[in-house]
Amino acid sequence: MAKIGFIGTGIMGRPMAQNLQKAGHSLFVSTHHDAAPAELLAAGAVALANPKEVAQEAEFIIVMVPDTPQVDAVLFGENGVAYGVGPNKVVIDMSSISPTATKTFAEKIKATGATYLDAPVSGGEVGAKAATLSIMVGGCPNAFERALPLFQAMGKNITRVGGSGDGQTAKVANQIIVALNIQAVAEALLFAAKNGADPAKVREALMGGFASSKILEVHGERMIKGTFDPGFRISLHQKDLNLALQGAKELSINLPNTANAQQVFSTCAAIGGANWDHSALIKGLEHMANFSIRGDK
C-alpha cells in the first residue's frame, strides 16, 4: 500500500481521500490552510503542518484545490510541495486548472527529480463519494502506471490522454460540452413552458428520443423542480469556461457558443447565483425572459 499526501480536502477532496483510505493506503494531510477533517484523522490520517512536510513523508502527493493560483501556491509557495519532493516521488494535480500553467508546473517539478501528472476529474461530489469519477490524465506512462491503483480507488473511467497538460485540456473540453448541454436543455424547457406546454411532460417525451442525455435526465429534473443546491457551483464552471476562452485566445480560435454560455452564467452570478448548482443556468435565461418555467420569479 502507498504513502499518499493529500492536499485539499474540501467538497471533492475529502471523499476522494476517504476512498484512498478505504483501499488501504496511508494518508498524510496538510493543515497549512484548514484543520484536517476529523473523519480522515479517525481513519488513521496523519496531520502535518504544511505541503513541504507532506511531500517529505509521502510517495505520492495529490493536490485537489479550486484554481491555478492555489495549485501554484501549494506547489511552489513558502513550504510548498516542491521543497519536499525528489526522485521516486510523484506529484498528482487533480484540480481543474490552466493547461498552459500545468506544463510549466510539470517542468518545475521534474527539475526536483520527481515526476508530475495532471489528473483532473469529472463526476462531481456524487462521483467522488461513490468512487466513480472519470479521471483524465496527462504525463509520462511510467508515472501513470505507478499511480493507476490510486486512480482506481477514486474512479472508474481512467484514461491517460497524453503528455503534461493533456489531462487538463481534456477537462476543459469536458466542461465546454457540459455547459453547452445545460444551456441547450434550459433553452428547450424555457421555450416549451413559455409556449404553454408542461416542461415536465416535454422532458419526459424527449427522454425517449435522440435528444436524450444525462444532462436532460439529471439537470432537466433539477430545472423543473427548482432544486439548485450544488452539486457543482456556477462560479467553478465560470472558472473552467474562462480557461476555455483563454485557451481559445492563445490558439487563435473562436468558441462562440462557449462565450455565450459564459455570459448566461454571468447573468446568474449577477442576480446572486454564483453558488447555485450549474443547472441553475436556466435562472439566467428566465431572468432575461422575465418568465419562470416553475411559475415563480
Q: Which of 89, 103, 171, 283 is catalytic?
A: 171
- Determine, yes or no, domain membership for 8: yes
- Determine, yes or no, domain membership for 295: no
Predicted confidence at residue 233, as pLDDT, reads 93
pTM of the shown model = 0.92
Alpha-carbon distance of 148 to 158, in angstroms, equals 8
Any idea what the CATH number is for the domain that residue 185 is in?
A: 1.10.1040.10
Any idea what the CATH number is for the domain that residue 34 is in?
A: 3.40.50.720
Residue 26 Cα distances to 14, 77, 277, angstroms: 14, 25, 33
**138/193 same-domain check:** no
- Determine, yes or no, domain membership for 296: no
Residue 100 Cα distances to 194, 206, 216, 220, angstroms: 43, 39, 32, 34
**112/234 same-domain check:** no
**191/141 same-domain check:** no
- Determine, yes or no, domain membership for 217: yes
**128/143 same-domain check:** yes
**133/198 same-domain check:** no
- Determine, yes or no, domain membership for 215: yes
Alpha-carbon distance of 37 to 178, in angstroms, equals 31
**229/282 same-domain check:** yes
Residue that terminates a domain, selected from 104, 135, 163: 163
User: In this structure, what is the dihedral angle of CA atoms 38, 63, 266, 215, given to the nearest 10 degrees?
Assistant: -80
Predicted confidence at residue 98, as pLDDT, reads 96
Residue that terminates a domain, selected from 111, 130, 163: 163
- Determine, yes or no, domain membership for 62: yes
**215/105 same-domain check:** no
**174/155 same-domain check:** no
When divided into structural domains, the chain yields a total of: 2
171 is catalytic: yes
Predicted confidence at residue 15, as pLDDT, reads 97
Which three cell numbers mark 86?
525528489
Per residue in 242-253, is it b (16+ CB within 10 Å) or e — as a string?
ebbbebbeeeee
**23/67 same-domain check:** yes
| Domain span including residue 39 | 3-163
Q: What parts of the chain have a pLDDT lower than 70?
A: 297
Alpha-carbon distance of 202 to 196, in angstroms, equals 11
- Determine, yes or no, domain membership for 294: no
**80/220 same-domain check:** no
Predicted confidence at residue 297, as pLDDT, reads 54
**178/90 same-domain check:** no
- Determine, yes or no, domain membership for 74: yes
* 91 three-class SS: strand
**209/250 same-domain check:** yes
- pLDDT, tens digit (0-9, with 9 covering 90-100), for 151-174: 999 999 999 999 999 999 999 999
Residue that terminates a domain, selected from 145, 163, 181: 163
* Amino acid of residue 17: A
